Amino acid sequence: MKAIQIHQTGGPEVLQLAELPIPEPGPGQVLIRVEATGVNFIEIYFRKGTYKSSLPLIPGSEAAGTVEELGPGVTGFKAGDAVASVSVLGSYAEYAVVAAVSLVKIPDGLSMEMAAACMLQGMTAHYLAYSTFPLKSGDTTLIHAAAGGVGLLLTQMATRIGARVIATVSTAEKAELARAAGAQEVILYSDQEFEPEVKRLTGGKGVEVVYDSVGKTTFEGSLNCLRPRGLLALFGASSGPVPPFDLIQLSGKGSLYITRPTLWHYIGTRADLEWRAGEVLGWAASGELKLRTEHLYPLSEAAQAQRDLEARKTTGKILLEP
């Protein structure tokens, strides 16, 4: 099979196309023929060595595909089932194995591309809006990078709940996408500082929660946009890691809360996975959740896909098609 392999950490050029044996499913595992692979920042962190892993490495964890073979002890699936997961072992490949407990079936009417596009980012948006800070009607939230993959889905979910969304984006085109997703207010951070604008839009009160996937360049301003006892959900670091921070500042800024959540702790049980994936895939299948999947790259162009994601040249979801 064809697969992308990393032999050393570094820039996108370390992503090399290789010919490798098709893996065999072990006990409790399923072999899938990958039909669409999600490209996410976590693979960039592994490629750079920010997150550690043994090498050589086939990157990727999010995919949709067709069941090819069941390992010993697997029940509930059969060959030919359309399935998706965010825990695929090396999804930058034509075939990959996944633990059956991490696999969900794709509902009728939803394409492989759409399923791959909404699993990781959709469930991330879901846990942020429904668990990390359970939004309610009337809340006001600041969402950074609102035209990105998670941002557009999170904006839709927050709006669906009835929250007021203040979004930050980098261009006028992305501003239109954020508004179409439901953002009531959009700030072009390339034209104006978001912190004073958020304070103006909230009458100086601040927001209940900031969802921040940017990190280094937005961290201080995000804290300053919170109302007393507000929460900063720092779920990414696309601009770099946040520098060391003295927690005593949280008291001076209003007894604030900070959390650094990850998806894996919110789908740690089969019940949580089925709840989040079921709602996200169901909303996507019904059209209630709008997805953008116009950025499709062949597997051989994985390096370019990561370059474009890292440079924020894209909106919505980036997919590889093996």
- The per-residue pLDDT for 312 is 72
Kind of pairing between the strands at 82-85 and 140-143: unpaired
Distances, alpha carbon 106 to alpha carbons 82, 112, 144, 177, 197, in Å:
6, 8, 30, 27, 42
Domain residue spans of the chain:
2-119+268-321, 136-260
Judged by average pLDDT, the poorest of 22-31, 174-183, 264-273, 305-314 is 305-314
Position 144 pLDDT exceeds 80: yes
Model-wide pTM > 0.85: yes
CA 164 – CA 184 distance, rounded (Å): 6
CATH classification for the domain delimited by 2-119+268-321, as one of 3.90.180.10, 3.40.190.10, 3.40.1280.10, 3.40.50.150: 3.90.180.10
- pLDDT tier, 127 (very low <50, low <70, confident <90, very high otherwise): very high
| Side-chain half-sphere exposure of 314, counting CA atoms within 13 A | 22
- pLDDT tier, 317 (very low <50, low <70, confident <90, very high otherwise): confident
Tracing tokens 């846990």 back to the chain, one arrives at: 127
CATH topology identical between 2-119+268-321 and 136-260: no
Count, residues in the chain: 322
- pLDDT tier, 244 (very low <50, low <70, confident <90, very high otherwise): very high
Position 140 pLDDT exceeds 90: yes
> Which class is domain 136-260?
alpha beta
Position 314 pLDDT exceeds 80: no
- Give tens-digit pLDDT for 101-118: 999 999 999 999 999 999
Q: Which helix (H) or strand (E) holds 63?
A: strand 63-70
